[in-house]
Structure formats: C-alpha cells, structure tokens
C-alpha cells in the first residue's frame, strides 16, 4: 500500500510540475505535442521557452522548437531539472562506435547558470576524420564545424588526449559526433553537472 501511495504522489507531482511549464504549450512541431519548458531570462535573441525534442520523433531535428533540421541521424536528449546531472556517450562506448554515423545531443536544464562537463579517461576519436563538437544552446551550426575550437562558441575534440573539463556558462548545451567510413575507436563519454 505504501508503494502505491508513493506512486500516486509521484504521479501527482509530475502532473503538477508539468503545469508549472509554459502557460500555453506552443511545442507542436510537425503536429506532435511536446513538453514546453519556460526559459527564464533567455540569452539575447532567443525564445522564452524550450521544447523537448524527443529521440524517437525528432531524430533529425533540433532547436528550441524541434523544427530545425540537423546534420545528425540520431538525437539523444535530456530536458528538465532532473537533468541537472547526467551523461552522454558515443554509441557503443566503451566499445567501438560505428562508421558513417552522426549523432546530435541536447541538454536543457531550466535555471542553470553554468554546466560543467567532465570527460571519461577512456577517450579515442579518430584523428583527423571523426569529429566531436560541443557548444552552448540547443542547436548547432555546421558552418562552425571547422576542426578547431572557439572557446565560448564551439569546442572541437579528436585524437587520444583526454580533454580537460569544460564549463559552459548557460542553461543548455549541444554535442555533435560524426564518423567517416573507416577506423573506429572507443569514442567518448561526458558526465555533466549544473551550477
Ligand atoms: Ca573513422
């Protein structure tokens, strides 16, 4: 009985929490309703809400409304305060990632001021053909994929040197991992925590 009571409370809390999201849900890209999160004090020129892009239905999309076509075949995402800590990793990590693959990752943590990412020591991305990029916000621009870092805008990683920890000073970040036709390695894993 106690367990059922807890489940009921948890369900009620989840409904209540959803009710605290956008007063009007405008997240309906391609006719599918998604969770809408308020974005208090959004960055300059960005919307005051963020829609939760879902892995199943938004595998090729990204952006605050899940209507921007990305360069990725798969999308992995984490939205909400439960994502104050979490991790992303390349497919199959620590086993080898697949060839000819691209994946996008998005994390949005309402109210976060910064997010610190720490890399697992097992890191190997084929240099210079496979590419890992990280940046602030919920969508990337392939025009910035030039194989170099611009701190604050985009970070680029490959090779076998374990990257240093990284702090992104906003409430969200994206990642992009693309591989070419051959030579696959272990890839990468990052664990993050919000500040
Ligand atoms: Ca490769």
Consecutive H or E run containing 132: strand 131-136
CA proximity to 76, closest of 105, 45, 117: 105
For the chain, the domain total comes to 1
The domain in which residue 57 lies consists of 2-194
CA of 183 to the centre of ligand 1 (A): 4
The pLDDT, as a whole number, for residue 107 is 98
Ligand 1 centre to CA of 90 (Å) is 13
Task: Quickly state the pLDDT bin for 3 (edges 50, 70, 90).
Answer: low
Say which residue, 19 or 72, is predicted with more confidence.
72
Question: Tell me, what CATH number does 119's domain have?
Answer: 2.60.120.290
Q: Mean pLDDT score of the chain, rounded to an integer?
A: 92
| Interval between CA 47 and ligand 1 midpoint (Å) | 37
Cα–Cα–Cα angle for 95, 99, 105, nearest 5°?
A: 75
Single pTM value for the model: 0.89
Cα(180) to ligand 1 centroid in Å equals: 4
Contact between residue 132 and residue 179 where contact means Cβ atoms under 8 Å apart = no
Q: Measured between alpha carbons, how far is 120 from 22 in angstroms, rounded to an integer?
A: 36
pLDDT classification of 71: cutoffs 50, 70, 90: very high
- Residue 142: CB atoms within 10 Å: 11
Centre of ligand 1 from the C-alpha of residue 68, in Å: 27
Cα 126 to averaged position of ligand 1 atoms, centre (Å): 5
Residue with tokens 């809400």: 49
The rounded Å distance from CA 184 to ligand 1 centre is 5
Q: Which two tokens stand for residue 45?
A: 């020129």
């Amino acid at each position: 009985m106690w367990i059922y009571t807890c489940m009921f409370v948890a369900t009620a809390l989840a409904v209540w929490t959803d009710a605290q999201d956008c007063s009007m849900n405008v997240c309906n890209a391609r006719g599918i309703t998604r969770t809408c999160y308020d974005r208090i004090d959004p960055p300059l020129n960005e919307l005051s809400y963020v829609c939760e892009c879902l892995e199943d239905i938004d595998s090729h999309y990204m952006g605050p409304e899940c209507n921007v076509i990305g360069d990725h075949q798969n999308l992995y995402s984490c939205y909400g305060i439960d994502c104050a800590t979490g991790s992303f990793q390349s497919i199959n990590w620590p086993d080898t990632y697949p060839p000819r693959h691209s994946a996008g990752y998005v994390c949005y943590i309402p109210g976060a001021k910064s997010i610190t990412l720490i890399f697992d020591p097992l890191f190997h991305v084929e240099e210079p053909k496979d590419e890992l990029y990280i940046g602030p916000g919920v969508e990337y621009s392939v025009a910035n994929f030039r194989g170099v870092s611009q701190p604050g805008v985009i970070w680029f990683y490959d090779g076998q040197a374990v990257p240093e920890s990284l702090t992104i000073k906003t409430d969200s970040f994206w990642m992009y991992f693309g591989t070419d036709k051959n030579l696959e390695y272990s890839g990468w894993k990052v664990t993050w925590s919000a500040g």
